[in-house]
Every structure is written in C-alpha cells, then in structure tokens.
Structure 1
Amino acid sequence: MRIFSQLKEILKVSVPIDRKSFFISGTILFFIKYGIDRSLSYFVFNREWWAVDYIKNPTALFTLDPSSEDFVFYFTLIGFSLPFLYLGTILCLKRLRSIGLSSFWVFLFFVPALNFLMFFLLCVLPENLYNVPGSESSAEFIPKSKLIVSIWSILITASITLLFSLFSTDILKTYGASLFIGGPFIIGFTSVALYSRTEFVGFKQALLISASSISLAGFLTFIIAMEGAICLIMAAPLAYFLGFIGGGIAYLLQAKSRFVSSVLPFLFLILPSVAYLEANLGKESDWYMVETSLKISAPKENVWKGLFEFSDIPEPKELIFNAGVSYPVRARVEGKGIGAIRYCEFNNGVFVEKITKWDDNNSLEFDVVRQPDAMRELSPYKNIRPTHLDGYFASKKGSFQLVSLGKNETLLIGRTWFLNKFGPTSYWNVGIHWILHKIHYRVLDHIRNSVEVSS
C-alpha cells in the first residue's frame, strides 16, 4: 500500500520534482524502453535497433505501405511506447512547473531529437528559475554591470547559435531556412532579451546589440574555418535584417519579461528541431534558369564557329572572381553532333558536358556530367572546404542559341540551369543569378570580341 501511495505521489503533476530525481527517473525509463525496443527488434522482427534510430527518418511511418513489414515494426514500437510516453509527459510537466515554465512546452517531448535536447535542458535549469522575478536563482545568471551584461548577452547568444550552425551544416548537412532565417532572428531576439532582464533597452541600443551579436557569430564562423568570407558576405544582408527584426520584437516585449524569459530556453531547441525536419523531409530541389544575351556584329555562321574556336579568355578584373568564385578560362569540343563532349575549363577545374542538341548555326545544348567546385573560399586557412561545396549548388544543363538580327548581326543567348539547395531559395537565387550572369558575360563577350575581330 505504501508503494502504491508513493507511486501515486510521483504521478501527481502538482508535486514538483528536482533536477536529480528527474535525471534519474528519465534515464531509467529510457533504458527500460530501449531494452524493450531492442528485444522486440531482435527476437520478434529479426533486425537491429540502436539508440540513434530514434532520431532517424521521423516521417518513416507516414510514408510506408501499411501492409509492409516495416510499417508493422514501427507501429508495434509505438504501441509499446505508450506507457513511457505517459510517464515521460508527467515527468516533464512536473519539471516544467518546478522551474516555473509554462506546461505548453511539454509538446517538445513528442518531437524526435528535440526531446533529448529538452531532457538535457530540464536537467540543467534550477528550480524556481522563473517563478519569482528577481530571486537569487534567476539573478545569479545575470551580471550587474551594464558593460558586462551586454558582452555576456552577445557572447552567449553568438556561441550557442554557432553550435547550432555546426549541428545544421556538419551533422545534418542542411543549409535551410532554419539556419539563415531562424538563426539570425533568434540571435537578435535572444541577445536583446537577455540584456533587458537587468536594464531597460532603448530602440537604438537594441539594434546595436543585435548587430553586434550577428557580427560576432559571423566572425566566430570565419575564425574557426567553418565558412569563408564570400558566403558570409552573401548571407550578411539577410542575417542583419532578421537580427534587427528579432531585436526589435524583444525590445517591444520588455514589459512581458516573464513571458520572454520562459520562451528563451526553448528557442534554441525549436531551431535544431526545424533543421532536423528540413534535413529529413526529402523535398526535391527545383531547377532554376539564368539567361544572358549579347549582340554580335557578325553573321550566324561566324558566331557558330566562335563557339568552338576561341583563344584563352584573359584574366578577370572583376572583384568577385578575384575573391575566389570560379571563372571560365577556355572551352573545346571533342566530336560533332549529339553525344560529342564539351570541355569548359575553369580556373579550378573542368566542366565536362555532353551535347544533347546540335543544330548547326542555331543552337547547342548540353548536360553537365562533371563539374569543379563553384568557388575557392576566401579565408586565411589553406584548403578550407565548407560542406556547401558538395552539391548544394550545381549546374545541371546549359545551352547557346543564335538568333539572326540581320545580315551581319546576331543575338547570342547563353543559358544555365542550376540546382540550389540553400534556403530560402528566393534570397540566394538573387546572388546566384548575378554571379552566373557575370560568368555568362565573360564567355559571350570573349566570343563577340573574337568573332568581330576575325570578321
């Protein structure tokens, strides 16, 4: 009877639970559940099950055929998980109330991968952190000096966001909206919210704190050789804009300090959850097309020959190419007609392109078979190679079209179809279009000069 009374007391949501008890209870429940799942997998379904499988492919059950063995396997595991879901929910609710956070955050317990991060956070945060504003438990986290608290809020925010960047790019292999939209917004919001807990923040001061946090996060990314200068410069306008929005919202919510304080710990848990979903949803990336045209004072026949017979393109003067973006140097074609191979040599490698359409004096189309890196990152470190160089941007197809504008005038049109896995695509496509126009113009202008001189 005494055991039953103790169990009833444990399951009471209104009874608080301290960090140590929560950690021990959660760990025991996890290993019991893992033992059951592993035993079911091995003895009933004759397959392996590891702890990492809990966070792999969270949408698997919704994409499987209900009659398949995999569906039955996952459905069985979920059935045996129900008691543990109930107990885990009760423990999380008790711990949230003990800390002083809203019970609303218990929904994070049901998000794969994020529930592990939530468990860690609930084990770390002290009791009554948000129950009594200005109490020692909350005040001990915040320095008193204005200068120190500003440095503290900026440094902590930038460092945590840097860890998320490593998680997103190096572990999940994704450069999505969570990184380029969520990251800067949370940097601005959190840095201002942390500072405003001890000192009222003016609007200009909020923007300054946001900008400083964004700048520090970018500097740390550069200094530890995660990224080079080119990508950071391209991302900067969006990052500062969203950072200012986040800082501005935190400035407006200063009167709601308790609400803001309860939200802060979980903003950094929501972010990796969204990144995790982005990495596992398997959405097909769209192709985009860039078109550049140039008038040439020569007949179509001469321009057609110029596509295959031109000298080396002079070294570029454009800053973007000298900074590290790859640029074309020369081109040649082996064979004739469909199936011929075009080699477009760039400063850092060769594009190998298979001809798919050959219409004399009219059009040439080709598929990209192999390509070099899109850039060599500008960095003080040698051989820096960020993850995004491995297929996140890729040229897929290209073409030249010749349109006669008169006896001795031809419009030469160059097109490139490309794949872009950076998010948001609408933002990154602006920079990609501009760079590809520069590359197109470099080739088309050299062909024009070569053909007009020979004519």
Structure 2
Amino acid sequence: MEKFSQLKELLNVHIPIDRKKFFITGIFLFFVKYSLDRFVAFFFFDRVWWIAEYFKDPGKIVLLKKFYSDESGFYLTLLGISFPFIYLGTVFCIKRLRSIGLSSFWVLLFFIPLLNFLMFFLLSVLPENLYNRSDEETPSRFFPKSKLIVSIWSILFTASITLLFSIFSTDILKTYGASLFVGGPFMIGFISVALYSRAEPLDFKHAMAIASAAVSIAGVLTFIVAIEGIICLIMAAPLAYFLAFLGGGLAYLLQSKSAFVSSVLPFFFLLLPSFAYLEANLGEERELYMVETSLKISASKEKVWKGLFEFSDIPEPKEFLFNAGISYPIRARVEGKGIGAIRYCEFNNGVFVEAITNWEEHSTLAFDVVKQPDAMRELSPYKNIRPPHLDGFFASKKGSFELVSLGKNETLLIGRTWFLNRFSPASYWNIWIHWILHKIHYRVLDHIRVSVEKTP
C-alpha cells in the first residue's frame, strides 16, 4: 500500500516536484523509451535506432509528411509506444511548472518536437517558486536604479540574444524564414520593453523608444559581425521596426500583468529556435512568381526584334540600388538561332546562361535559366562577405521577351521573369524583389528602345 501511495502521489498533478527529482525521472523515462524504440527497431524492423534520430526531421513523427511507404509502419509503431510516455511527460511537466510558479498552460510546449527537449532542460534548471514571490520581493530589486542603465541593459541584452538567434538560423540552419523576420523583431520589441517594465512602469512613448533602439542595435550588431550587408538590412528594416513596435506595444499593455509576462519571457528563448528548426526541416514546395515590365518603342516589330540581339553595352548605372551592390545587366548576346540557341546575359558580377525554349520570329523569345551569378554583392566594410541566402534563396528560373504591334511604327516590348523566392514571409520579400526586377527589366528595355530608335 505504501508503494501504491507513493506512486499515486508521484502522478498527482496537484503535488509539485522539485527540479532534482524531475531531472532524474525525466532522464530515466527517456532512456526507457529509447531502449524500447531501439529494441523494436532492431528485432521487428531490422534497423538501428540512434538517439540522434529524435532530432532528425521531426515532421516524420508529427505530420507523417515525409514517410516512405515502407517506413510508415515503423514510425506509427514508435508513435504508439510513445503514448504512455507522453502521458507521464505531461504529468511531470505540469507538476514542475506548478513548482516553479508558472501556468500549466506551458505544458503545450511539451508537444512541440525539439522544443520538448529544450523545455526539459529549462524546467530542470529554474529554481522553486521563481514566480511565487511575496509582495515584499519586488522585481525592481533585481534591476539597477538608474533609468538610463536599465534602458541600456534591456536593449543590449535583447539585441545580443537576437543576434545569437540570427546566427543559429542563418549560419547553422541555413534558413531565412518567418521565425527570423517575423518572430525575431517581435521578440526584440516585446522582451526589451518587458524587461524594462519589470524595473519600473513606462509610458507608451518610452516603450516605443526602447523597442526602436533594441531593433536598431540588433541591426548594427548584425552588420558589425558580418552576418549581413547594408542593403539586406535596409530591405528588412520596415518589417522589423513594425513588428518590434507591435511586440513593444503588447509588452506595454501587459505591464500590469507582470507575473504573466515573467512566465512568458523564459520560453521566448526556446520558441524561436524551435520554430526555426521546424522551418528548416519542414520546407514546403515554393511556387514561381512572375514580374512583367513593358515599354513602348517608336519602331516596327522587325526593328525591335533585331534590337534584342544587336545593341551596344549598357551605360554604367546611376541608381543607388545598383551602385550599392544589386547585380545589373551590362550586355547580352545570342549564339545560334531558334529553339536550342543559347543566350548569354552578362551582369556586372557574372553571366546568366539561358537556353532558348521558344523562338517566334518578330514575336516571342523565351528561355530557361541554366546558370546564374549571385543576385548581389553585399555592401559591407568586410571583403567577400557572402551570406547563405545568396545560395538559391532567390533564383531566376526563366524569362521572355514579347513584342506587340501598336501600329506601323510603334511596338510594345514586354519583358518577363519567373523567379523562386525562399524567403519568408514571401508576400513581404516579393515587394522588394518585384521592385528590383522592374528596375533590371527597365534598364534593358530602355537601352533597347534608345538603340532601336536611333537606328535609321
């Protein structure tokens, strides 16, 4: 009966558990689960199961998205074995959350792949009654008295943590997803304002100043450590500041809920890396987007068609966009004639090699991109800075020229580019990509117009 009472007490979610017992119990259950999985894998499915498999492609277990037909039985078996351990893990996490003084709501994080391991570590480290302080223990005693020092501390701390997350997302996971461009700035605003408000209340104007300074410092640090160049930071800035203000505004509204905000803060540092990991491993198929630019030329279709193949070098650009590092076209030539011919479009930093797929005399020239240079050279004091996003996050896939007659001596020349965008949120980055491609299109189309209209 005594053993039964101890077991009943152990499984009672209303009775807290200290971190030592939680850690030992968690490690024991994990190795029991791992031993069962390894046994089943070896004796029933003739395969070896290593601990590292739990961290590889978690979408297999969560969404059953990447199963091969001969693997589905194996993973479903492991999922079935997991149910008792899921129940026990849920119970012990709730007990531990209550021991720390956090809401049982956070047990939901236990069901997120990878995050459950990080959550286990955090619950094993946080002390008892962390968020059950008496009224005498005000949070201000943990912060400096000076408003200036508190501001600097909250800004630098948040910006530094965000920088580490940026390195993890871009250099380690090689992903530029919503966790980086949406979650990161929101976290900067929320945490910087929340940390300051723990020391003393602040007004809305001060909250926005803290959020703005924090996201600005994060950008400066990103530039200083050579993660990104100035052009990429400028393009990311509007979204980053908007989301930082949103996060800071939410923290401002929650000032009176200091206990709730305190319970949220530790998990912000777990959520973003976990979502970034999921984004990197659960990549979805991306659709092709198209940009179209047209220009009226005072010449016949025959002359414009000839001008597609015979024009002088395009003058050096005056636009800041191109002088700051965005690649731009300088000349083009076509070798051969008809379908199968090769078009070489030379940019300032390399050559686009394009295979002609449609050749309709005086009407349409279409091609697939076989090879392309980097989309840009980063504007930075460091030499040869090359962020991972230059490797296929933006890629031109195909293009075309179409000639539409508007009369005897007027032709509408239409240039189109189809591209792949792996940045998220795509809707935001497509605004920049469309603008840049329109500039590139216009540079080519306008040069053809000038060349053709000068020809007698």
Per the normalisation by structure 1, the TM-score is 0.94
| Inter-partner Cα distance in structure 2 for 1:225 and 1:307 | 40
The answer for the alignment partner of 2:274 in structure 1 is 273
Is the contact between residue 341 and residue 355 of structure 1 (CA under 8 Å) also seen in structure 2? Answer: yes
The verdict on how the C-alpha distance between 1:296 and 1:68 changes in structure 2, with shifts beyond 3 A counting, is: closer
Q: Say if 2:60 is the partner of 1:60.
A: yes
| Distance apart, 1:20 and its partner CA | 2.8
Count of residues paired in the alignment: 455
The answer for the alignment partner of 1:91 in structure 2 is 92
Deviates more, 1:71-80 or 1:321-330: 71-80
The answer for the alignment partner of 1:437 in structure 2 is 438
| Distance apart, 1:221 and its partner CA | 1.5
- What secondary structure, in the 3-state scheme, does the structure 2 residue paired with 1:410 have? strand
The verdict on how the C-alpha distance between 1:434 and 1:248 changes in structure 2, with shifts beyond 3 A counting, is: same
The verdict on how the C-alpha distance between 1:64 and 1:186 changes in structure 2, with shifts beyond 3 A counting, is: closer
The answer for the alignment partner of 2:120 in structure 1 is 119
Q: Deviations over 1:417-446 (max 9, x none)?
A: 111111111211111111111111111111
| Inter-partner Cα distance in structure 1 for 2:285 and 2:65 | 18
- What secondary structure, in the 3-state scheme, does the structure 2 residue paired with 1:396 have? strand
The verdict on how the C-alpha distance between 1:52 and 1:144 changes in structure 2, with shifts beyond 3 A counting, is: farther
Alignment of 1:1-400 (within 5 A): 2-61=2-61, 62-63=63-64, 68-132=69-133, 141-400=142-401
| Distance apart, 1:366 and its partner CA | 0.6
- What secondary structure, in the 3-state scheme, does the structure 1 residue paired with 2:52 have? helix
| Inter-partner Cα distance in structure 1 for 2:148 and 2:404 | 65
- What secondary structure, in the 3-state scheme, does the structure 2 residue paired with 1:182 have? helix
Q: Deviations over 1:333-370 (max 9, x none)?
A: 11100111111111111111111111111111111111
| Inter-partner Cα distance in structure 1 for 2:171 and 2:140 | 36
Is the contact between residue 64 and residue 70 of structure 1 (CA under 8 Å) also seen in structure 2? Answer: no
The verdict on how the C-alpha distance between 1:382 and 1:202 changes in structure 2, with shifts beyond 3 A counting, is: same
| Distance apart, 1:303 and its partner CA | 1.2
| Distance apart, 1:310 and its partner CA | 1.3
Which residue identity does 1:41 align to in structure 2?
A
Which residue identity does 2:28 align to in structure 1?
I
Is the contact between residue 129 and residue 137 of structure 1 (CA under 8 Å) also seen in structure 2? Answer: no
- What secondary structure, in the 3-state scheme, does the structure 2 residue paired with 1:183 have? helix
| Inter-partner Cα distance in structure 2 for 1:451 and 1:168 | 48
Which residue identity does 2:394 align to in structure 1?
F
Is the contact between residue 59 and residue 66 of structure 2 (CA under 8 Å) also seen in structure 1? Answer: no
| Distance apart, 1:66 and its partner CA | 9.4
| Inter-partner Cα distance in structure 2 for 1:353 and 1:49 | 46
The verdict on how the C-alpha distance between 1:46 and 1:143 changes in structure 2, with shifts beyond 3 A counting, is: farther
Structure 1: state its 5+ residue gaps.
none
| Inter-partner Cα distance in structure 1 for 2:18 and 2:139 | 16
- What secondary structure, in the 3-state scheme, does the structure 2 residue paired with 1:255 have? coil
**Could you say what the CA RMSD is over the residues aligned between the two structures, in angstroms?**
2.1
| Distance apart, 1:64 and its partner CA | 6.4
| Distance apart, 1:202 and its partner CA | 0.8
| Inter-partner Cα distance in structure 2 for 1:313 and 1:66 | 52
State percent identity of aligned pairs: 74
| Distance apart, 1:107 and its partner CA | 1.2
| Distance apart, 1:158 and its partner CA | 1.7
Deviates more, 1:188-197 or 1:20-29: 20-29
| Distance apart, 1:115 and its partner CA | 0.6
Deviates more, 1:230-239 or 1:256-265: 256-265
| Inter-partner Cα distance in structure 2 for 1:141 and 1:173 | 37
| Inter-partner Cα distance in structure 2 for 1:117 and 1:178 | 17
| Inter-partner Cα distance in structure 1 for 2:150 and 2:80 | 49
| Inter-partner Cα distance in structure 2 for 1:229 and 1:384 | 11
Q: Deviations over 1:397-424 (max 9, x none)?
A: 1111112222222221111111111111
Deviates more, 1:326-335 or 1:122-131: 122-131
| Distance apart, 1:270 and its partner CA | 2.6
| Inter-partner Cα distance in structure 2 for 1:420 and 1:91 | 43
Q: Say if 2:448 is the partner of 1:450.
A: no
| Inter-partner Cα distance in structure 2 for 1:65 and 1:218 | 36
The verdict on how the C-alpha distance between 1:67 and 1:117 changes in structure 2, with shifts beyond 3 A counting, is: closer
